[in-house]
Amino acid sequence: MTRKATITIDGKTIEVPIIKGSCGPDVLDISNFYQETGMFCYDPGFTSTASCASSITFINGDEGILLYRGYPIEDLVEKCDFLEVAYLLLYGELPDISQRESFEQSITHHSMLHEQLRTFFQGFRRDAHPMAVMVGVVGALSAFYHDNLDIYDPQQREVASHRLIAKMPTIAAMAYNYSRGCPLPYPQNRLTYAQNFLNMMFAVPSEPYQINPVIARAMDIIFILHADHEQNASTSTVRLAGSSQANPFACISSGIAALWGPAHGGANEAVLTMLKQIGSTKNISEFIERAKNKNDPFRLMGFGHRVYKNYDPRARIMRKACHDVLGQLNINDPLLEIALELERIALEDPYFIEKKLYPNVDFYSGIVFKALEIPPSMFTVIFSVARTVGWVAQWNEMMTDPAQKIGRPRQLYVGEKNRNFSKSK
């Protein structure tokens, strides 16, 4: 029997069905709430709103658990590579050997860009932020791949999804090389997804580029950790854009735009800037005090999360990867010492304890990127490469959801009431 909640408003009682998920909080089905009460629900920032039903990613923020299709992130990082995780997110199951091979084959063979898209880059200033280039070029894909724009054809949706996953590393590496005045790279089919990305980023025609396996593994881990994270701001943006039946390239471009902000994907760049600004462990307490001061806009970047009220499991993996990478590459980065000490002090501080503010995935990723010689402007770009898998998986799920309809939130109007028109002479 369906459980129901009763809500009484001004003496009128209505029943609201309670829906149970497979794990996580139950939800109140308020889809008829306006019809029955004449009222909207007000929830700025969607802190109490489940915008859709999804079976892709589950987060238990209180316990610090992250599952992709039911598998703990820790197991996936240890036992899979990025393309296996991408397959899992897209299709719901881990691939067997032949599925893995044909998926890899498809992704590999869609990684080149239409040659005319290469000229598109020339329109950008060399000092453009690569995220600006990503938004533009990914949006422009819809002007080049007309053969898979029918969003109601599952096969065309699949091709568009593979194209996006395959072309994102190429576009990202092109954006980087354009910014530094180097030739725009071509993908290499013999390499893995992570190796190919590194090769496109750093190889130059004048000499061979040796791919360091430590760096390739770290890149693969970064891709896996960022692949999906349920209904965050950028994923919700992709879903909302897709709900109007926009094409997938336009939808993913809107996701990239939402990811760019420093409160979301841009935080890893901000963490590195902050650590450099702190400069020495001696100055940490001053910055902790600033973060606690309501009158100071400064926040401890890489700390706090809307959902995690415990240690972000991705941050734990990234912290270890950071130690491994710096150790294996024999790098002594003073920023790691500052980060570790900052984390230790913050985790003992009553302000951070009381507000349940823990390091998030971005806290250590900047230091890993730095060790990999990836410039800060590319951090969020790499995040967008990885998250494309989650975005297309979520978009595909939405397209096949019978409950799907155009997203159209309402509002609490607080503006002027109907006014008599008068114009000053």
Residues involved in catalysis: 305, 362
What span, in angstroms and rounded, lies between the C-alpha atoms of 329 and 331? Answer: 6
- Are the C-beta atoms of residues 281 and 339 closer than 8 Å to each other? no
By beta-carbon proximity to ligand ACO, the closer residue of 118 and 299 is: 299
Residue with the closest Cβ to ligand ACO? 304
Question: Interface with ligand ACO includes 355 (CB under 6 A)?
Answer: yes
- Answer whether 191's CB lies under 8 Å from 116's CB: no
Residue 115 or 348 with smaller CB distance to ligand ACO = 348
Distance CA 396, CA 242 (A): 9
The full DSSP string for 327-384 is: HHTT---HHHHHHHHHHHHHHHSHHHHHTT--B-THHHHHHHHHHTT--GGGHHHHHH
Site string for ligand ACO, 356-385 (x = CB under 6 A): -x--xxx-----------------------
| Shortest distance in whole angstroms from residue 357 CB to ligand ACO | 5
Q: Is 348 exposed, middle or buried (0-12, 13-18, 19+ CB in 10 A)?
A: exposed
**Which tokens belong to 189?**
């089919």
Show contacts with ligand ACO in window 220-279 (CB under 6 A): 263-265, 267
Segment 35-54, which members bind ligand ACO (CB under 6 A)? Answer: 45
> Is 313 within 8 Å of 65 (Cβ atoms)?
yes
Nearer to ligand ACO, 107 or 274 (CB): 274
Q: Give, rounded to a whole angstrom, the gap between the first and last alpha carbons of the chain.
A: 67
Which of 127, 354 has the CB closer to ligand ACO? 354
Q: State the binding string over 279-318 for ligand ACO (x if CB under 6 A, else -).
A: ------------x-------xxxxxxxx------------
Q: Which is nearer to ligand ACO, 81 or 312 (CB)?
A: 312
Helix (H) or strand (E) holding 203: none
Task: For residue 122, give every residue at least 6 positions away whose Cβ sits within 8 Å of its Cβ, in sequence order, or none.
Answer: none
Non-local CB neighbours of 344 within 8 Å, separated by 6+ positions: none
CB contact burial 316-329 (16+ within 10 A = b; e otherwise): bbbbebbeebbeee
Give the C-alpha distances (Å, rounded to integers) separating 15 from 30, 48, 49, 209. 10, 19, 18, 65
CA separation for the pair 251, 149 (Å, rounded) = 12
Taking the least distance from each CB to ligand ACO, the nearer of 60 and 212 is 60
Instruction: Please say which residue, 118 or 264, places its beta carbon nearer to ligand ACO.
Output: 264
d(CA 409, CA 30) in angstroms, rounded, equals 13
The kind and range of the H/E element at 396 are helix 379-399
Backbone angles phi, psi at 264, to 5 degrees: -125, -115
Residue 180 or 294 having the CB closest to ligand ACO: 294
Assign 307 to helix, strand or coil. Answer: coil
Cα separation values, 402 from 2, 54, 247, 381, Å = 20, 12, 19, 33
CA distance 378 to 365: 12
Residue 266: HSE in the Cβ half-sphere, 13 Å Cα cutoff: 14
Q: Which residues are near ligand ACO by CB under 6 A?
A: 45, 263-265, 267, 291, 299-306, 355, 357, 360-362
